[in-house]
């Protein structure tokens, strides 16, 4: 949908923005139509049925089922069309596609810290190629912020202790506004930046011009050694005293309490910050917490490292990790602990 001729409408530069605008103009159109209709009819009736003499007695009006049905059914259909259209767009917007390129975003009073999986870091700038699906994995070091790119019509809260995601596919090269859209303290209004959308070749040049930086996965691997994860989870995450981390991401983990959990970003983060929260079946509460010891950016690096560990190939040099979570599942039934 072309909107550039309308004043105050931000530029439209993603695959989503035209769809959001179409819905927005539908809502506005319906609102304007009924406002004018009701105001017009009101004025018309005020004049038509005005009292002409002090002794005039109006004719009594009986109800009309036809009319009642009509003015109930029509608004119902209109309201449901808004709901269905909005829900469909919402789902599309809130489910990042599988093949999207991931970019990490960490909010902080008052700046946006961005890291590409290839290692490039940016502050208050986000470089992306045109025509590629980008998934943002976002968290914050302090309070709630909100990552808002008006030209892409995307906006999502960035919440402490959680990962939120949103995605987009830019359609037009250019520079666009990036805002924080959640009041986050004194310099909230200064928590702004720009999104630079580039042609793919131009973007590749930009990427290769910034290669002196470590990828989050490599930085995560080093952290894994220095903060001591390695001593229980093995050199390549094959496990041992702690659960195996190789191939963990996206897997179903069986827990001590009989439940299962999908190992997503939130679960992995929680397991580092609060290891006792969800104990993997077969493992005791021996892991210390890393709360306050590593930053959100370091957590993102650990996460990137765990994600990068392949499921197969690391087992070869592992001395058969005793109670690997997946294989331990059937024994749950036999364990007296399982009913607790």
CB of 161 to ligand CUA, least distance (A): 16
Examine residue 156 and tell whether it contacts ligand CUA (CB under 6 A).
no
Whether residue 13 contacts residue 170, with contact meaning beta carbons closer than 8 Å, is answered with: yes
Examine residue 191 and tell whether it contacts ligand CUA (CB under 6 A).
yes
By beta-carbon proximity to ligand CUA, the closer residue of 145 and 269 is 145
CB of 177 to ligand CUA, least distance (A): 14
Whether residue 148 contacts residue 155, with contact meaning beta carbons closer than 8 Å, is answered with: yes
CB of 129 to ligand CUA, least distance (A): 26
Whether residue 157 contacts residue 118, with contact meaning beta carbons closer than 8 Å, is answered with: no
Sheet with 101-108, edge to edge strand ranges: 121-123, 111-116, 101-108, 133-140, 164-169
H helices present in 49-135, as ranges? 65-94
Whether residue 307 contacts residue 280, with contact meaning beta carbons closer than 8 Å, is answered with: no
The encoded tokens of residue 334 equal 């036999």
Binders of ligand CUA among residues 92 to 111 (CB under 6 A) are: 107, 110
Residue 143 makes CB contacts below 8 A (sequence gap 6+) with: 109, 160, 184, 185
Choice from 113, 127, 188, 233 touching ligand CUA (CB under 6 A): 188
Examine residue 145 and tell whether it contacts ligand CUA (CB under 6 A).
yes
H-helix or E-strand spanning residue 297: helix 296-308
CB of 160 to ligand CUA, least distance (A): 12
By beta-carbon proximity to ligand CUA, the closer residue of 102 and 157 is 157
C-beta atoms surrounding 151 within 10 Å: 22
Question: Using the 8-state DSSP alphabet, how is residue 129 labeled?
Answer: E
Q: Which stretch binds ligand CUA (CB under 6 A): 74-82, 176-184, 247-255, 327-335?
A: 176-184
By beta-carbon proximity to ligand CUA, the closer residue of 109 and 165 is 109
By beta-carbon proximity to ligand CUA, the closer residue of 142 and 199 is 142
Whether residue 141 contacts residue 101, with contact meaning beta carbons closer than 8 Å, is answered with: no
CB of 146 to ligand CUA, least distance (A): 7
Helix, strand, coil share of the chain (percent; to 5): 40, 20, 40
CB of 294 to ligand CUA, least distance (A): 22
Examine residue 170 and tell whether it contacts ligand CUA (CB under 6 A).
no
Q: Binding pattern to ligand CUA, positions 108-127, x when CB under 6 A?
A: --x-----------------
Q: Binding pattern to ligand CUA, positions 53-92, x when CB under 6 A?
A: ----------------------------------------
Choice from 151, 156, 184, 245 touching ligand CUA (CB under 6 A): 184
Q: What is the dihedral of CA 177, 181, 185, 186, to 10 degrees?
A: 40
Examine residue 180 and tell whether it contacts ligand CUA (CB under 6 A).
yes
Angle at 303 between CA 270 and CA 217, to 5 degrees: 165
CB of 184 to ligand CUA, least distance (A): 3
By beta-carbon proximity to ligand CUA, the closer residue of 159 and 261 is 159
Residue 218 makes CB contacts below 8 A (sequence gap 6+) with: 119, 305
In the complex, the residues that contact ligand CUA under the rule CB under 6 A are 107, 110, 145, 180, 182-184, 188, 191
């Amino acid at each position: 949908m072309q909107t550039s001729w309308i004043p105050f409408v931000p530029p439209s530069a993603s695959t989503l923005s035209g769809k959001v605008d179409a819905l927005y103009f539908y809502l506005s159109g319906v609102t304007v139509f009924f406002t004018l209709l009701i105001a017009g009819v009101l004025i018309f009736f005020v004049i038509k049925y005005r009292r002409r003499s002090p002794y005039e007695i109006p004719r009594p009006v009986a109800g009309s089922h036809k009319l009642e049905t009509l003015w109930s059914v029509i608004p119902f259909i209109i309201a449901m069309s808004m709901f269905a259209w909005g829900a469909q767009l919402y789902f599309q917007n809130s489910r990042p596609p599988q093949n999207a390129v991931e970019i990490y975003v960490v909010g902080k009073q008052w700046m946006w810290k961005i890291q590409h999986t290839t290692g490039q870091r940016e502050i208050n700038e986000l470089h992306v190629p045109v025509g590629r699906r980008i998934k943002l994995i976002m968290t914050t070091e302090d309070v709630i912020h909100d990552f808002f790119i008006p030209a892409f019509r995307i906006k999502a809260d960035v919440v402490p202790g959680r990962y939120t995601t949103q995605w987009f596919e830019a359609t037009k090269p250019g520079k666009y506004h990036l805002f924080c859209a959640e009041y986050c303290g004194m310099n909230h209004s200064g928590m702004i930046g720009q999104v630079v959308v580039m042609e793919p070749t131009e973007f590749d040049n930009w990427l290769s011009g910034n290669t002196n930086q470590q990828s989050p996965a490599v930085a995560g691997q080093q952290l894994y050694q220095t903060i001591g994860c390695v001593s229980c989870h093995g050199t390549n995450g094959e496990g041992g005293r702690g659960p195996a981390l190789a191939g963990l991401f996206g897997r179903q983990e069986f827990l001590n309490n009989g439940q299962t959990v999908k190992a997503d970003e939130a679960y992995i983060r929680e397991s580092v910050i609060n290891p006792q929260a969800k104990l993997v079946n077969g493992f005791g509460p021996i892991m210390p917490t890393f709360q306050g010891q590593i930053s959100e950016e370091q957590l993102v690096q650990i996460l990137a490292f765990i994600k990068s560990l392949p499921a197969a190939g690391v087992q070869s040099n592992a001395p058969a990790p005793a109670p690997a979570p997946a294989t331990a599942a059937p024994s749950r039934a036999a364990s007296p602990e399982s009913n607790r």
